[in-house]
Amino acid sequence: MSFFIAGTGRAMPEKIVTNDDLAKFLDTSDEWIFTRTGIRRRRVLTHERLDDLAVASARAALADAGTAGADVDLILCATMRGDTYTPSLACTVAEAVGATCPAFDLNAACVGVLYCMEVADSFIAAGKAETVLIVSAEAMSKLLDWTDRASCVLFGDGSGAMVVKKGEGRLAGVLSTKPDSHVIRMPNFEGLNSPYNAVEQEKQAMHMDGGEVYKFAVNAMGSRIEDVCARAGLTPADIDWYLPHQANIRIIDASLKKFKIDKSKVLTNIADYGNMSATSVMVLLDEFAKKGTFRKGDKLLFVAFGAGLTSGAEIVAWQR
Ligand code: ACO
């Protein structure tokens, strides 16, 4: 017995920043960004707190599932950095929705939601939970160097959530790491002001080797699709909907190319949101669920790669 997806939700910052807006202060253009990545615009936090977005998306998913916060057995938040180191984002959400269950954050960069789904599956399989709230929330705009045109144009902020409940739905999952601490690196923000500190402070912004990430991403996404399909006893052609991490439309196209997947099965919204790290697949799921795209029994394949370097895939049959 595993889980099915009982409800989804999202909450986005109000501010929309277009590629043309970025070209006002960076040496870039809508043409360069769109043709290299598929991104047209992204949402960016201004007056909102990340906590507030996380709580709003969690409430939306709970309402969609018809579940009270008090009935949740486990809260997992996929995030690289909440507004506070402590309490965790998961505890902040728990307080807001009236839950008293275990709650903790999990950082697997862009693959965070898939890691949370595997943790949820394990808790449910062990009989330790029946209803799990998974939230993702990322403030990428606060982690970037806004003078680095090669990275800051790629990302956006947002939050998404899902409620999963004990039952039939999840068919298989795979997680992996190819440990590498250099190709994507984001040092901690805060100054090291301990009088005893003897470690030199790293530059406080994302460093990314775009070309290396690209190569890893295409290979990892393709491999995880093969792995998870094999584990579920399916072929890539059996999948009804692909929900890939939204990092770059060219990475999505290249990683699916060898499987000759019908493009209409591959869901994307990168043009509107850019790369929101862990939140990308969650917002994609909620957007297409609310559009009524999925039919009962449809097989959804989530696949993602991220810093770490992490990767993973998950197949869940839609049960609503
Ligand atoms: N606008 C205009 N020109 C730019 C920009 C920009 N925003 N950024 C870079 N350039 C320039 C470069 O300086 C370079 O100029 P040069 O030829 O004079 O040296 C030229 O454009 C080509 O640069 P490339 O890096 O070769 O461009 P490429 O086609 O490889 O695309 C990109 C770069 C989009 C970053 C691509 O490599 C990519 O998508 N990589 C994966 C990134 C990714 O997925 N990151 C997410 C990781 S997960 C995480 O972070 C949590």
Interatomic CA distance for residues 137 and 95, integer angstroms: 16
Average pLDDT over residues 300-320: 97
What confidence category does residue 162 fall into, taking pLDDT thresholds of 50, 70 and 90? very high
- Nearest C-alpha neighbor of 143 from the set 82, 211, 216: 82
Structure tokens of 222?
Answer: 């393709």
Q: Which atom of ligand 1 is nearest to the CA of 184?
A: 50
pLDDT score recorded for residue 91: 98
pLDDT score recorded for residue 189: 64
Alpha-carbon 203 to chain mean position:
25
Q: Ligand 1: which residue has its CA nearest to atom 40?
A: 210
Q: Which atom of ligand 1 is nearest to the CA of 213?
A: 41
Q: Are 87 and 186 in contact (CB under 8 A)?
A: no
Q: Are 50 and 43 in contact (CB under 8 A)?
A: no
Residue 192 has pLDDT above 80, yes or no: no
The reply to whether ligand 1 has any atom less than 6 angstroms from the CB of 82 is no
Average pLDDT over residues 24-31: 98
For residue 287, give Cα distances in angstroms to 173, 199, 253, 269. 22, 45, 20, 9
- Angle of helix 89-97 relative to helix 50-65, nearest 10 degrees, comes to 50
Query: What is the tens place of the pLDDT at every residue in 166-181?
Result: 999 999 999 999 999 8
Interatomic CA distance for residues 260 and 101, integer angstroms: 44
What confidence category does residue 265 fall into, taking pLDDT thresholds of 50, 70 and 90? very high
Cα angle value 75/78/84 (rounded, 5°)? 85
Interatomic CA distance for residues 252 and 246, integer angstroms: 8
What confidence category does residue 204 fall into, taking pLDDT thresholds of 50, 70 and 90? confident
pLDDT score recorded for residue 21: 98
Would you mind telling me the total number of residues written for the chain in this entry? 320
pLDDT score recorded for residue 203: 78
The question of whether 47 is a catalytic residue gets the answer no
Interatomic CA distance for residues 205 and 257, integer angstroms: 33
pLDDT score recorded for residue 188: 79
Tell how far the Cα of 210 is from the centroid of ligand 1, in angstroms: 6
- List of domains in the chain: 3-168 (3.40.47.10), 172-317 (3.40.47.10)
Interatomic CA distance for residues 299 and 229, integer angstroms: 11
Q: Quick check: helix, strand or coil at residue 100?
A: coil
Q: Are 84 and 132 in contact (CB under 8 A)?
A: no
Given the residues 110, 116, 152, 229, the one annotated as active site: 110
Structure tokens of 320?
Answer: 């609503």
pLDDT score recorded for residue 196: 84
Cα angle value 303/307/312 (rounded, 5°)? 25
Average pLDDT over residues 278-306: 98
What confidence category does residue 190 fall into, taking pLDDT thresholds of 50, 70 and 90? low
Average pLDDT over residues 77-85: 94
Average pLDDT over residues 227-241: 97
